[in-house]
Structure 1
Amino acid sequence: MDATTDARPLIRTSAHDDGVVELVLDRPEAMNAVSTAMARALTETGATLASDTSVRAVVVTSSHPKAFCVGADLKERNGLSDDELRAQRPGNRLAYRALLDLPVPTLAAVGGFALGGGCELALACDLIVAGERAVLGLPEVSVGVIPGGGGTQLLTRRIGWSRAADLIFTARRVGADEAYRLGLVDRVVPDPRIEALAIASTIAAHSPIGVRNAKAAMRAGIDLPLDDGLDVEDARWHDTAFSPDRAEGVRAFAEKRRPNWPGVS
């Protein structure tokens, strides 16, 4: 399940037995800087995962020991004309949306640097698990652009206006402990990959239909007035409550055994 460009994979995936899929950013020679080809590979991989109903959670990791992703490939960008940069833009947007729009829970395992577009890849995930030496930031204004992979919107929603303004306007980097205090990351651990996979495995043990509908309700309702959000929740509740998963979950509880989820068909 590798997305390949010019005969080498830039995004690798590894499926675990419990339905967890590890999505590996695999351009280590460039510290996973997002090139045009890598953006295309991420879009293709996201589409494949989104259509696979056996997937229960996705963990985004890196093949580089000291970097999650350092953002856009500025060396490539330096050689682009204005017209070429405009032509590149839609593909880059699709790449970040491919991760943001996955219907299952997503976790970023951030070890080392997650800067610019790399931080935005993490922000596109539902949970961010950071290593103790992780460094995160959105330094785009220091090179004459602004965050363009969702950073201005996702960071503000995650940590609030003033904290997001501090990070974006100053372009400063923060270590794992400060990122945790700000709410930018959810856990700080010695090995973020192992921790994220463990969390994903816990998620994967629950009702696939329930988890997908819970995520859909949360995402759809987050910016709605409360009454409208509760209507969204109610619709997703009905989708779940009258599904085969609910019947199996109640039966398993009564029989004091683990559920054998029918899952998404």
Structure 2
Amino acid sequence: MADILVETGQVAEIRLNRVDARNALSTRLASELIEAAGVVRESNARAVVLTSAAPSAFCVGADLKERNRLSDAEFMAQRLVFRRAFGALREMPVPVVAAVHGYALGGGYELALCCDLIVADESAVVGLPEVRLGIVPGGGGTQLLPRRVGYGVAADLILTGRRVAAEEAARLGLIDRLVPAGADRTTATELARQIAANSPVAVGNARHAIRRGLDVDLAAGLDIEDSAWRATVFSEDRREGVRAFTEHREPRWP
């Protein structure tokens, strides 16, 4: 059975499916994630949902049993695959929504951090416990988490390696939406549908401006926003959006 399942459509779904191992990140799972991202990139998807088929976990992090068997050379080869997998998720051309339940630890939480939005249910437990194992987060955690929640909260989570339950995670901004148990996939999919219903040109340019603006000062960020506005305002999507509004109908994005 495949470790990753992919369904395409206007809202695509990438489902972690290494159920017996609670989606522990193996070399094979990472490789299949790269392939799945490629399938979605070639599809007509306007948004993506990253989900888990495991009942008690989103992803528990790296497969330490596999890693313990690797030579140093094999470990470094796996590292390249892992970096490509996280990068493939971060660089998806359309917004990605993570649907999290149960454990999302280490590389598992970093998979969620690679997404644009994180929906988690009440069973979720997140954390970056790598320092407890003598390593550091390697899937983007030390960079993505401070950008999401600021230095202090990120340092608290990363340097202690502690686990955070859903309610506190929502309060600290570690997740974006907290939903009742079992509602993570449904809510994430509905959120992705709302995104997909909007202008693909506008969504893409707005997302680009948000991401680019994170690493520059306000003046430079406003220039980035102006470029995104100019790239959008003369598009056929903008013309169709105005027509649809004045004609009281849903837009048919070109």
Of the candidates 66, 70, 85, which is equivalent to residue 80 of structure 1? 70
Corresponding residue to 2:243 among 241, 251, 265: 251
The amino acid of 1:222's aligned partner reads L
1:36 to 2:27 alignment: yes
CA contact (8 A) 1:31 1:64 kept: yes
CA distance in 2, matches of 1:130, 1:225: 31
TM-score when scaled to structure 1? 0.93
Q: How many residues align?
A: 252
Within 5 Å, give how 1:11-90 maps onto structure 2: 11-16=4-9, 19-52=10-43, 54-90=44-80
Question: SS where residue 99 of structure 2 aligns?
Answer: strand
What are the superposed Cα offsets for residues 87-107 of structure 1, whole Å, 9 maximum, x if unpaired?
A: 211111010011111121111
1:10 aligns with 2:18: no
For the 8 Å contact 1:103–1:215, the answer to whether it is kept is no
Runs of 4 or more off by more than 3 Å in structure 1?
none
1:110 pairs, out of 97, 100, 105, with 100
More deviation in 233-242 or 162-171?
233-242
Letter in 1 for 2:112: A
Which of 120, 128, 145 aligns to 1:138? It is 128
* Structure 2 CA distance for aligned equivalents of residues 236 and 68 of structure 1: 34
Instruction: Specify the code of the residue in structure 1 equivalent to 2:7.
Output: S
AA at the equivalent of 1:86:
M
SS where residue 102 of structure 1 aligns?
coil
Matched, 1:168 2:158: yes
Instruction: Give, in whole Å, the separation in 2 of the partners of 1:140 and 1:131.
Output: 23
Q: Which residue of 2 aligns with 1:4?
A: none
| Contact 1:46–1:99 (Cα < 8 Å) also in 2 | yes
Which residue in the other structure is 1:157 paired with? Answer: 147
Percent of matched pairs sharing the same residue = 57
Aligned with 2:2: secondary structure?
A: strand
Deviation at 1:174, TM superposition (A): 0.6
Q: CA deviation at 1:138?
A: 0.5
- Structure 1 position 185, deviation (Å): 0.5
CA contact (8 A) 2:8 2:40 kept: no
Contact preservation (8 Å) 1:114, 1:137: yes
- Are the equivalent residues in 2 in contact too, given 1:103–1:216 (CA < 8 A)? no
Residue identity opposite 2:227 in structure 1? A
Which residues in structure 2 correspond to 1:225-244 (within 5 Å)?
225-244=217-236
How far 1:183 sits from its partner (Å)? 0.4
Amino acid at match of 2:19: P
Q: Deviations over 1:57-95 (max 9, x none)?
A: 111100001100001110110001112111211111010
1:122 aligns to 2:115 (yes or no)? no
Give how far 1:51 is off.
3.6
Q: Deviation digits for residues 95-141 of structure 1, max 9, x if unmatched?
A: 00111111211111001000000000001111111110100000011
Distance 1:102 1:228 in 2: 24
**RMSD between aligned residues:** 1.0
Structure 2 contact 129–163 (Cα < 8 Å) conserved: yes
Residues 27 and 33 in structure 1, CA contact (< 8 A), matched pair in contact too = yes
Corresponding residue for residue 213 of structure 1: 205
**Residue deviations 1:23-69, cap 9 Å, x none?**
101110110011111111111211232343x2111111000011000
1:222, CA displacement in angstroms? 1.1
Opposite residue 255 of structure 1, the aligned amino acid is: E
Q: For structure 1, list consecutive stretches of 5 or more residues without a partner in the other structure.
A: 1-7
TM-score, normalising length: structure 2: 0.96
Q: CA offset at residue 195 of structure 1?
A: 0.6
Offset of residue 10 of structure 1: 1.4
